[in-house]
Amino acid sequence: MAFVFENAHPLEVLRWAGETFGDGLVVTASFGDPTLPHLVSQSIPWADVVMLDTGYLFAETEWYADHLAERFGVRVRSIHPRPDIERDVWQHDPDACCRARKVEPLERALAGAAAWVTGVRRSDGDTRRSTPVVHDDPERAVTKINPLATWDAARVADHIASNDLPLHPLADRGYGSIGCWPCTSPLAAGEVERAGRWRGSDKIECGLHLAATTGVPVTVTHS
Ligand code: SF4
């Protein structure tokens, strides 16, 4: 029977990923909302959820990750930048800062992995509109799994409400997509979720998900 990822619930995708890749699976989450950690706890609770701790996360995000870990019973594994990198590069070269504080730590987290689960959604923005649910990621040499790709903000909000999940503490202070404090600002009325990231610059991605629109979708048959 063909497994139709496009129409599958994220829980089905995650269960398939767990059965297919086992210990070769790495899950990363931004901890800006509870959705992915919650779904992981309901499907592959043995999997660690990796937090890329750039050193510039909001204190609220650090607290929230601990809170979700305790509430859902998932293990959060923090990956940090190398200790010898230059500080405050975000002030003059945000691309270099993201490379050192996000991309390089991700590459360490994915070393030896066969598959990578992310919280990327098509509705995040134009660069993510064609994100497959499952695809080859040649840049990271893994199968990339985006179980939430087809969910928009309203579907996420519905999942949070129907499961009575806690929101990030900054959510009710006007923040949408929540990243590092120097590069995240609250939203004005009507702005899209990621409008508060790198406000005032052309930068719209940190470099983690550049292959999201270029990888080849995976077709899988299982019984
Ligand atoms: S989002 Fe900003 S502070 Fe965080 S790693 Fe990128 S440039 Fe640095």
Q: Is residue 219 part of a domain?
A: no
Instruction: Dump pLDDT digits (tens) for 161-219.
Output: 999 999 999 999 999 999 999 999 999 998 888 899 999 999 989 989 975 544 556 55
Nearest CA to ligand 1 atom 8: 97
**What is the average pLDDT across 104-128?**
95
CA of 197 to the centre of ligand 1 (A): 10
Atom of ligand 1 nearest to the CA of 90: 7
Torsion of CA 102, 107, 113, 116, to 10 degrees: 30
Q: Is residue 218 part of a domain?
A: no
Atom of ligand 1 nearest to the CA of 100: 5
Atom of ligand 1 nearest to the CA of 203: 7
Q: Is residue 56 part of a domain?
A: yes
Helix (H, G, I), strand (E, B) or coil at 116: strand
Are the C-beta atoms of residues 35 and 147 closer than 8 Å to each other? Answer: no
Residue 149 sits in which domain range?
5-213
**Average pLDDT in the chain:** 92
C-alpha dist (Å) from residue 109 to 32, 103, 117? 19, 10, 12
Decide if pLDDT at 154 tops 70.
yes
Q: Is residue 138 part of a domain?
A: yes
Angle at 87 between CA 86 and CA 92, to 5 degrees: 95
Residue 38, H or E segment: helix 35-43
pLDDT of residue 220: 52
Instruction: Dump pLDDT digits (tens) for 17-55.
Output: 999 999 999 999 999 999 999 999 999 999 999 999 999
Nearest CA to ligand 1 atom 7: 94
Q: Is residue 14 part of a domain?
A: yes
Q: Is residue 220 part of a domain?
A: no
Catalytic residue set: 206
Count up the domains in the chain and report the number: 1
Q: Is residue 221 part of a domain?
A: no
Kindly list the protein residues whose Cβ atom lies closer than 6 A to any atom of ligand 1. 54, 56, 90, 94, 97-98, 101-102, 179-180, 182-183, 206
CA of 169 to the centre of ligand 1 (A): 20
Q: In this structure, what CATH number is given to the domain that contains residue 48?
A: 3.40.50.620
CA of 131 to the centre of ligand 1 (A): 23
Residue among 58, 97, 102, 205 whose CB has most ligand 1 atoms within 8 A, to mutate: 97
CA of 15 to the centre of ligand 1 (A): 32
Decide if pLDDT at 148 tops 50.
yes
Tokens representing residue 20 in the block: 């297919």
Q: Is residue 200 part of a domain?
A: yes
Nearest CA to ligand 1 atom 4: 180
What's the alpha-carbon Rg for the chain, to the nearest Å?
Answer: 17
CA of 182 to the centre of ligand 1 (A): 7
Nearest CA to ligand 1 atom 5: 98
